[in-house]
Amino acid sequence: MRLLLDTNVLIRWHAGQVRPAAVRTLRRAELVAVSAISAWEIAIKRAVGKLKFADPVEQVVAENGFAALSVTVRHGDLLRDLPLHHTDPFDRLLIVQALDEGLTILTSDRSFEPYRVPVVWA
């Protein structure tokens, strides 16, 4: 399985708060990707005081052997046709990335359910 971590899972993983079933899923995955979108989301939430995440996301990705996933113009274009079931811009970009890159999103966020994106619940 090729996974894309939702930002909430990355944050919990870094804090050592991921459920055992999600840990097993991560360990069995052939690829675990973290999107640049997650780095942006974490940086913005830190800047406004909504999140404490001391380490650079790039460092967390490298230390855990995760793959960094860039955002492309194509990903932005794909948002045009994504139904507006969910209005969070970060999650919407993660959804189009997963669809375009053939990834399964590891998340605990039920707002991903209305989309046709493959999901594993964390």
- Residue matched to tokens 């894309």: 4
DSSP state of 55: S
The pLDDT value recorded for residue 111 is 92
Model pLDDT for residues 15-72, shown as the tens digit of each residue: 999 999 999 999 999 999 999 999 999 999 999 999 999 999 999 999 999 999 999 9
- Percent share of the chain, pLDDT over 90: 98
Supply the pLDDT for residue 86. 86
Domains present along the chain, CATH in parentheses: 2-121 (3.40.50.1010)
Answer for the pair 109, 95: CB distance below 8 angstroms, yes or no. Answer: no
pLDDT classification of 8: cutoffs 50, 70, 90: very high
The confidence score (pLDDT) of residue 5 equals 98
Contacts of 43 (CB under 8 A, 6+ apart): 57
Taking a C-beta distance cutoff of 8 angstroms, is the pair 72, 36 a contact? no
Say which DSSP state 63 is in.
Answer: H
Q: Is 102 left (phi over 0), alpha (psi -120 to 50) or beta?
A: left
